Structure 1
Amino acid sequence: MTAAAPNFDRYRRQIRFAPLGEAGQQRLAAASVLVVGCGALGSVAADLLVRAGVGRVRIVDRDFLEADNLHRQVLFAESDVAAQLPKAVAAAERLRTVNSAVTIEPVVADVSPANIASLAGDVDCLVDGTDNFATRYLLNDFAVQAGKPWVFGGVVGAEGQVLAIIPGETPCFACLMPEPPPAQLQPTCETAGVLGPAVGVVASLQAIEALKLLSGNRAAVNPRMTLLDLWTNNIRNVKVANSRTGDCRACARRDFAYLEARRGDATTTLCGRNSVQIAPAAETSVDLSELARKLQSAGRVTANPYLLRLEVETYRITVFADGRAIIAGTDDPATARTVHARYLGG
């Protein structure tokens, strides 16, 4: 068992649900899950999994909290925003007060080909709380290669999608979507908005599929993709079994293009944020205290053990201990690189 022996009395109403029972609860207590992204979907899913008694919950997120997160990211409060906490850290602090029997492991990092094996290699299931296709294809590549189930979820506006993916049994993500849609055809939270209740429903569906998998109730896993539009009160379960093909890049040809990509100095425009993330070319660590000292003369600097923030010109530069930087004030990667080089070097 990965956590301290749980007080099963707190789960008595859950245990009374016959398909779960005490045996299922024991399996949950011995199980582990990785929640990838702790924003809207991830915060709801993590909360439900911790409350259900999953023994070990690892939460990885690359970002920090902002005020406009609070309408849909239920683990966080205004005090967390004021403290400039990374989402993974704030989530872990909150969740430890919810269920002390669960081991909570926060990781402040960007999921990449370089670190996904260390993040996901020792867990039983992955839950998708991301907001971009590149990371989902990476999760899919890893899950297919490692034979680990994962639960896809997406939400924009009042619409959402959920699918449990079990390698070798169901179509994988690349079966259903061999290539990401063109960027101009992808609605985002910035262009289409997002409603908190829709987030809650989608993440709850993800959590229940994860609980089925982790409690040994794989036969109960929904084999169909759930599509919902809460504004029009339309919910459908769409058959996807026939989408599994013998020519799938990932699960048929074992071509793990996203997993095997050579990681370089990478820029990522963050959805709806007017911000660009710049990741270092290799694993590194930054002495935030020393960096704060060096940047004092450049502009307004604030720092905590997890990140440093520099406000200068029209930009807000946030540097994490793993070397990543988020340049707020532009969505142009070239401009972001220029600002990064000007103040941080490289």
Structure 2
Amino acid sequence: MNRYDRQQKFKGIGLKGQQQISEKTVGIIGIGALGTHTADTLVRAGIKKLILVDRDYVEASNLQRQTLFTERHAAELTPKVIAAQEELHKIRTDIEIEVHIEHCDAPLLEAAFSSCHLIIDGSDNFDVRQTVNDFCYKYKIPWIYGACVESTYAACPFIPDVTPCFNCVMGMLPVMNRTCDTVGVIEPAVSQATSYQATYALKILTEQPFEPKLVYGDIWSLEHSAIKFSRMGEVSCATCGDEPTYPHLQNRTIRTMLCGRDTVQFESPVTDMRQLIDFLTCLKIEFQQTPYFVRFYVDRKPVIWFRGGRLLVHEVKSVAEGQKIYYQIFG
């Protein structure tokens, strides 16, 4: 029996819709709770190709809500996109998957995501969403916002030439300035957000007309709202207005505090792994090497160096504290 038989029998998709899904490429920004759920759903739905980007690796605290990951991935500190690729290929051997262990910025989007028919947000990062918003509206690619914290969830589709953009609707979005690291999150809130993201994705991939709505609620108190936003556009908007300039595509911020993680990200001057290992050996700093990164400690602070030079300094409370560690390494 056709593995997509039940999906094709659904009148909203049918044979034509299934064929359309099988021809589409989807990009997912951030392979955490939201990204793993939507990746799993879309691979099972039959898309042709996934492009995944995430700058982090699997930790034990991820396993409560981030599907696709196992205890082995956490023990081995496997990069999230590598772990996701491994597990998704177990679901479908014919799925094409392209992965990037990178910080998501404008150069990466323009180099790797221009072929996407749809981009899904799993980033939990305001600056990244602003960049994705500009990129998608410049290149006419739909994208789907998603968020969850504690027991609350939200999702919203942004479609160039059809809906106002993220900037115009931002004032309507539920305030989610808390983070999962500080106040926690339950898996049902994740599932609710990604259910709406995946539903919007299937409608967009099958090219069906629909009325986009911002949906949000609280799964614990069983409250839910859905709001139309088609009239929220601003003619002066720098992204979707009459004269767009896409300002966030001009920025490339690599030195930044990661939201809720007590971690600062830097771009190191050392881009070759062999060179870094020689450098650490000379400094008599013990290290752990994997195919994807090198882990070591400076003043008892964990430091992760990724291929290409991206650096994470953990267990620091500010960029300034992270810089002290950075300068101890590279001067």
Please confirm whether the aligned pair reaches a TM-score higher than 0.5, indicating the same fold.
yes
**1:125-140 paired onto structure 2 within 5 Å:** 125-140=118-133
Where 1:331 maps in the other structure, the secondary structure is: coil
CA distance in 2, matches of 1:181, 1:149: 21
CA distance in 2, matches of 1:209, 1:300: 48
Query: 1:272 Cα shift?
Result: 2.2
**What does residue 320 of structure 2 align with?**
334
8 A contact 1:285–1:321 mirrored in 2: no
Out of 191, 194, 205, the position equivalent to 1:203 is 194
**1:138-153 paired onto structure 2 within 5 Å:** 138-153=131-146
CA distance in 2, matches of 1:148, 1:315: 40
Query: 1:238 Cα shift?
Result: 1.0
**1:75-86 paired onto structure 2 within 5 Å:** 75-86=68-79
> Partner letter of residue 299 of structure 1?
I
CA distance in 1, matches of 2:172, 2:102: 25
Matched, 1:14 2:3: no
8 A contact 1:178–1:249 mirrored in 2: no
CA distance in 2, matches of 1:256, 1:273: 29
**What does residue 307 of structure 1 align with?**
293
Structure 2: state its 5+ residue gaps.
none
**What does residue 256 of structure 2 align with?**
268
**1:163-182 paired onto structure 2 within 5 Å:** 163-177=156-170
Where 2:195 maps in the other structure, the secondary structure is: helix
What count of residue pairs does the alignment treat as equivalent?
A: 329
8 A contact 1:178–1:248 mirrored in 2: no
CA distance in 2, matches of 1:180, 1:332: 27
> Partner letter of residue 246 of structure 2?
F
Q: Deviations over 1:10-35 (max 9, x none)?
A: 11111111221111111111100000
> Partner letter of residue 319 of structure 2?
P
Where 1:211 maps in the other structure, the secondary structure is: helix
Shift of the 310–95 alpha-carbon distance from structure 1 to 2, 3 Å rule, reads same
**What does residue 286 of structure 1 align with?**
271
TM-score by length of 1: 0.90
Matched, 1:39 2:32: yes
CA distance in 1, matches of 2:23, 2:262: 42
Out of 234, 241, 246, the position equivalent to 1:256 is 246
Matched, 1:188 2:174: no
**1:59-98 paired onto structure 2 within 5 Å:** 59-98=52-91
**What does residue 307 of structure 2 align with?**
321
Query: 1:81 Cα shift?
Result: 1.1
CA distance in 2, matches of 1:175, 1:82: 42
**What does residue 228 of structure 1 align with?**
217
Structure 1: state its 5+ residue gaps.
1-7
Shift of the 285–254 alpha-carbon distance from structure 1 to 2, 3 Å rule, reads farther
More displaced 10-residue stretch of structure 1: 97-106 or 246-255: 246-255
> Partner letter of residue 268 of structure 1?
T
> Partner letter of residue 275 of structure 1?
T
CA distance in 2, matches of 1:208, 1:190: 27
Q: Deviations over 1:131-187 (max 9, x none)?
A: 1110001000011111110001111111111111101111110111279999xx822
Matched, 1:114 2:107: yes
Query: 1:293 Cα shift?
Result: 3.8
Q: Deviations over 1:305-327 (max 9, x none)?
A: 11110023220000100211000
More displaced 10-residue stretch of structure 1: 306-315 or 157-166: 306-315
CA distance in 1, matches of 2:56, 2:279: 23
| RMSD after superposition | 2.1
Q: Deviations over 1:323-342 (max 9, x none)?
A: 11000120211221221222
8 A contact 2:257–2:263 mirrored in 1: yes
CA distance in 2, matches of 1:259, 1:227: 28
Matched, 1:213 2:201: no
> Partner letter of residue 81 of structure 2?
A
CA distance in 2, matches of 1:127, 1:290: 36
TM-score by length of 2: 0.94
Shift of the 141–179 alpha-carbon distance from structure 1 to 2, 3 Å rule, reads farther
Shift of the 143–258 alpha-carbon distance from structure 1 to 2, 3 Å rule, reads same
Identity in percent: 33
Query: 1:192 Cα shift?
Result: 2.4
Matched, 1:242 2:235: no
CA distance in 2, matches of 1:260, 1:274: 27
Where 2:141 maps in the other structure, the secondary structure is: coil
Out of 40, 44, 51, the position equivalent to 1:58 is 51
8 A contact 1:298–1:312 mirrored in 2: no
